[in-house]
Amino acid sequence: MRPGILFPLFSSISSLTGVGEKNAKLVSKLAGDKVVDLLWHLPYNIIDRTYSPALANAQSGKIITIKVKITEHIVPKTKKQPYKVICSDGTEEITLVFFKVYSQSIAKNLAIGSEKIISGKIEVFNNIIQMTHPDYIVPSGQINDILGLEPVYSLTAGLTNKFVGKICRQALARVPAFPEWTEESHKKSLNFPSFNEAIAKAHNPKTLLDLEPASAHRMRLAYDELLANQLSLAIVRSRIKKQQGRVLKGNGLLRKKMLDILPFNLTESQEKVLKEIFADAAGETQMHRLLQGDVGSGKTIVAFLAMLNAVECGAQAAIMAPTEILAKQHLETLAPFCEEIGVKIELLTGRIKGKNRKKILEELKDGKINILIGTHALFVEDVEFKNLAFVVVDEQHRFGVHQRLGLSNKGDKPDILVMTATPIPRTLVLTAYGDMEYSKIDQSPKGRKPVDTRVMPITKIEEIIKSLQIKIAEGKRAYWVCPLVEESEKVDLQAAINRYEILQKYFGNHVGLVHGKMKEKEKDEIMERFKKGKIKILVATTVIEVGVNVPEATIMIVEHAERFGLAQLHQLRGRVKRGYEASSCILLYSYPLSEAARARLKIMRETEDGFLIAEEDLKLRGQGELLGTKQSGFTEFKLADMSVHQNLLITADKDAKMILEKDINLKTPRGEALRILLYLFERDDAVKTYLAG
Ligand code: ADP
Ligand code: MG
């Protein structure tokens, strides 16, 4: 249960003064729907309102805060004219200018003869001082309503900084006096203020330095967030290590058969990783292991051999793919092998219905099916196995720690192998998968040729189409990717359609188009035709659609490559790196080209090493955007910024492990404080699952 001390922070934002129904929607879009979300919405700049000169000496373009007396109103004659109010501070006059406002309310608020304090930016034209729409107009006694140094928050349309500042201050006022969860010696050596001091300072910056992520109070907050994250993962990890699992120690017969028919030898890296997996599987505790390997490094066969070990033990195994297309692809890869070695494999997706579905479900329950392939969604529902002992989760960007928890507590406590094709920098592995053991395939199969990567401006398109004509005539196949940016999906889709139509002029019906707005079935049909070679150029809008293995496709053309993140570009290029034929990747860019975009394209030209690319990506963008938007499933931090706080993460991770060594149930006074921390940062899954009571 959430500690009572946190209730005021976890109530709805509409409990704040001034937040009505309409504002609540905007605020929740901006920061979140709980009061605590506003705490994490930190200012990024300061407006200095301390400049308070005599009007006669005021500098144009500056923000001033002064006391004035209202002397005259100039009421507009037409709707287009502004309403003007003349005031004076005794040294000079100033004209306040209002567009599109109710005359009545101005007349009332700025009554002639009254005194007000105003704050806003002034402009001086021909010795006339003007202020258009003052930021503040307050009665002369209420100067305290205007902050000398006003924090500037990011906003969303419909909200003013004044309003957001006000509700953030209300949120701040609800922060209770927290017990200290950081160790005193630690706090000293890192020069940390308390959490309460830190959060107050973060919302009340006095200098620009106070806004720096490397300032002591921001570091403290980042540390707290990281500690909460690492501690919750460490709790999961410590419990899973204790959890009785299955001993999976097969006789090796199926695996031997499989290796005999495999047309290649495993790489050293694959062998090493398999050893790690088999050792885990043979152990008495439940396996929870992450398998990282770049696109094309050969994870599928590793996963398959690992599943065969379970089948040798008379148990069942399952592999979960993120999409139907990828699930089908696994079936196509594995079914022929299964047939030869006598293992029954089936595919179950949301689209398999009726009799077929019923039959599969029955055979799963009877144990007739040895290996099941499905999508993530499927496993959330109740698919009943006779004896599920090994689960592979493939390319699971959307599969967070709580989902893993759900899975590992399912039925027979199966061993879990999570595979990801996204190279993840070491530090991020800690934050996203700190609850798991870790294996890495760091070598790609022999004989792969490097991809010939070129970066070109879109103006060269004629040239590119010409050389594409030659390649297509030689029987090659190509992807042509047009990016989709969320905000303007329609426009982008149109761009892809236009490109498709232009290419049709050159290539006729050898061109196909897939995009996210199509029905699954249509998509599948087109993919099928591309696989079979009826379509030679596949124009696609999204990355997902090309997450498919077509070994014959050796050319990747990416339009607006400057809009893609490094990780995405790397994934895209990976699509044509599968065969043994020489392949090429053309990254087309359009202007304007930002500094960061230029750097990304340069890296793409220089290296194919996914891990290096991921590290560079982290440096260039910070972890927030690492994989492009939210799909990534990476832990999103609100206060910690991995491009600045990496060292803090490592400290927090060590700290978390040490805490559990001393106080596994978080029962000491510091443990109790840490429970509050876990709830404060909403990392309480582990507490609920393992520390209840
Ligand atoms: P990914 O890691 O992206 O899932 P796959 O498992 O799909 O990679 O493997 C990519 C391709 O490389 C497949 O065609 C697979 O058969 C092949 N492959 C896997 N391991 C080896 C190996 N040791 N030697 C040669 N080819 C391999
Ligand atoms: Mg794969």
Q: Residue 630: what pLDDT? A: 36
Query: pLDDT band for position 632 (50/70/90)?
Result: very low
Which of 258, 262, 264, 581 for mutating ligand 1's site (highest number of atoms within 8 Å of CB)?
264
Q: Residue 279: what pLDDT? A: 95
Q: Is 610 in the pocket of ligand 1 (CB under 6 A)?
A: no
Which has the minimum average pLDDT: 581-585, 621-625, 681-685?
A: 621-625
The arrangement of strands across the sheet holding 93-98 comes to: 123-125, 128-132, 93-98, 83-88, 63-74, 115-121, 136-139
Q: Residue 381: what pLDDT? A: 65
Higher pLDDT, 618 or 523: 523
CA separation for the pair 137, 83 (Å, rounded)? 16
Which of 300, 305, 325, 611 for mutating ligand 1's site (highest number of atoms within 8 Å of CB)?
300
Q: Is 633 in the pocket of ligand 1 (CB under 6 A)?
A: no
Q: Is 295 in the pocket of ligand 1 (CB under 6 A)?
A: yes
- Say yes or no to pLDDT of 260 above 70: yes
Which neighbouring-strand residues pair with 491?
A: none
Summarize the confidence of residues 24-45 as an average pLDDT.
94
Question: Is the Cβ–Cβ distance between 638 and 629 less than 8 Å?
Answer: no
Domain 50-147: CATH architecture, name and number where available: Beta Barrel (2.40)
Tell me the residues surrounding ligand 2 (ion) with CB < 5 Å.
300
Task: Give the per-residue SS3 of 67-92.
Answer: EEEEEEEECCCCCCCCEEEEEECCCC
Question: Is the Cβ–Cβ distance between 395 and 321 less than 8 Å?
Answer: yes
- Say yes or no to pLDDT of 691 above 80: no
Percent of the chain scoring above 70 in pLDDT: 92
Higher pLDDT, 442 or 691: 442
- Say yes or no to pLDDT of 623 above 60: no
- Say yes or no to pLDDT of 332 above 80: yes
Query: pLDDT band for position 690 (50/70/90)?
Result: confident
pLDDT per position as a tens digit, 358-409: 999 999 999 999 999 998 777 666 688 999 999 999 865 666 677 777 776 6
Q: Whose CA is nearest to atom 23 of ligand 1?
A: 266
Query: pLDDT band for position 631 (50/70/90)?
Result: very low
Backbone φ, ψ for residue 150 (5° rounding): -95, 120
Q: Whose CA is nearest to atom 24 of ligand 1?
A: 445
The arrangement of strands across the sheet holding 371-375 comes to: 345-348, 371-375, 316-321, 388-394, 415-420, 288-293, 437-441
Element (H, E) at 682: none
Residues written for the chain: 693
Residue 441, helix vs strand vs coil = strand
Q: Is 287 in the pocket of ligand 1 (CB under 6 A)?
A: no
Q: How far is the centre of ligand 1, averaged over its atoms, from the C-alpha of 510 (Å)?
A: 28
The residue to which tokens 């949301």 are assigned? 350
Q: Is 267 in the pocket of ligand 1 (CB under 6 A)?
A: yes
Which has the minimum average pLDDT: 135-144, 460-469, 570-579?
A: 570-579
Least distant ligand from the CA of 448: 1
Query: What are the helix and strand counts (H, E) for the chain?
Result: 24, 22
Q: Residue 624: what pLDDT? A: 40
The whole model's pTM is what? Answer: 0.74
Q: How far is the centre of ligand 1, averaged over its atoms, from the C-alpha of 441 (Å)?
A: 11
Q: Residue 473: what pLDDT? A: 93
Query: pLDDT band for position 628 (50/70/90)?
Result: very low
Which of 261, 295, 578 for mutating ligand 1's site (highest number of atoms within 8 Å of CB)?
578
Q: Whose CA is nearest to atom 18 of ligand 1?
A: 298
Query: pLDDT band for position 317 (50/70/90)?
Result: very high
Q: Is residue 69 exposed (0-12), middle (13-18) or buried (19+ Cβ within 10 Å)?
A: middle
Q: Residue 297: what pLDDT? A: 87
Packed helices 461-473 and 489-507: angle between N→C axes, nearest 10 degrees: 50
Least distant ligand from the CA of 294: 1
CA separation for the pair 557, 539 (Å, rounded)? 9
Q: Whose CA is nearest to atom 20 of ligand 1?
A: 298
Identify the CA nearest to 426 among candidates 686, 649, 231: 649
pLDDT per position as a tens digit, 193-248: 999 999 999 999 999 999 999 999 999 999 999 999 999 999 988 887 777 788 99
Query: Sign of the C-alpha dihedral, residues 164, 165, 166, 168?
Result: positive
- Say yes or no to pLDDT of 64 above 80: yes
User: 253-441 has which fold?
Assistant: Rossmann fold (3.40.50)
Summarize the confidence of residues 460-488 as an average pLDDT.
87
Question: Is the Cβ–Cβ distance between 441 and 269 less than 8 Å?
Answer: yes
Query: pLDDT band for position 627 (50/70/90)?
Result: very low
Least distant ligand from the CA of 305: 1
pLDDT per position as a tens digit, 642-661: 778 888 999 999 999 999 99
Q: How far is the centre of ligand 2, averaged over its atoms, from the C-alpha of 575 (Å)?
A: 11
CA separation for the pair 280, 258 (Å, rounded)? 21
Ligand 1 atom with least separation from CA of 303: 6
Least distant ligand from the CA of 443: 1
Least distant ligand from the CA of 333: 1
Which has the minimum average pLDDT: 154-158, 171-175, 555-559?
A: 154-158
Identify the CA nearest to 303 among candidates 326, 284, 285: 326
Q: Residue 252: what pLDDT? A: 95
Q: How far is CA 593 from CA 81, 221, 488, 546, 589, in A?
A: 41, 35, 19, 25, 8
Question: Is the Cβ–Cβ distance between 240 and 289 less than 8 Å?
Answer: no
- Say yes or no to pLDDT of 161 above 70: yes
Q: How far is the centre of ligand 2, averaged over its atoms, from the C-alpha of 155 (Å)?
A: 41
Q: How far is the centre of ligand 1, averaged over its atoms, from the C-alpha of 263 (Å)?
A: 11
Q: Is 292 in the pocket of ligand 1 (CB under 6 A)?
A: no
Query: pLDDT band for position 635 (50/70/90)?
Result: low
Query: pLDDT band for position 629 (50/70/90)?
Result: very low
Which residues are CB-contacts of 32 (< 8 A; sequence separation ≥ 6)? 13, 38, 40, 41
Backbone φ, ψ for residue 74 (5° rounding): -110, 100
CA separation for the pair 390, 375 (Å, rounded)? 15
Q: In the chain, where does the domain assigned CATH 3.40.50.300 lie? A: 253-441, 451-607
Q: How far is the centre of ligand 2, averaged over its atoms, from the C-alpha of 419 (Å)?
A: 8
Least distant ligand from the CA of 446: 1
CA separation for the pair 299, 370 (Å, rounded)? 20
The residue to which tokens 């100033």 are assigned? 94
- Which CATH class name applies to 451-607? alpha beta
Q: In the chain, where does the domain assigned CATH 2.40.50.140 lie? A: 50-147
Q: How far is the centre of ligand 1, averaged over its atoms, from the C-alpha of 267 (Å)?
A: 10
Q: Residue 299: what pLDDT? A: 92
Which of 266, 297, 373, 573 for mutating ligand 1's site (highest number of atoms within 8 Å of CB)?
297
Ligand 1 atom with least separation from CA of 574: 3
C-alpha 581, offset from chain centre: 34
Summarize the confidence of residues 140-155 as an average pLDDT.
90
Q: Residue 85: what pLDDT? A: 95
Supply the mean pLDDT for the chain.
88
Ligand 1 atom with least separation from CA of 270: 23
pLDDT per position as a tens digit, 265-313: 999 999 999 999 999 999 988 898 999 988 788 999 999 999 999 999 9
Q: Whose CA is nearest to atom 5 of ligand 1?
A: 298
Ligand 1 atom with least separation from CA of 394: 4
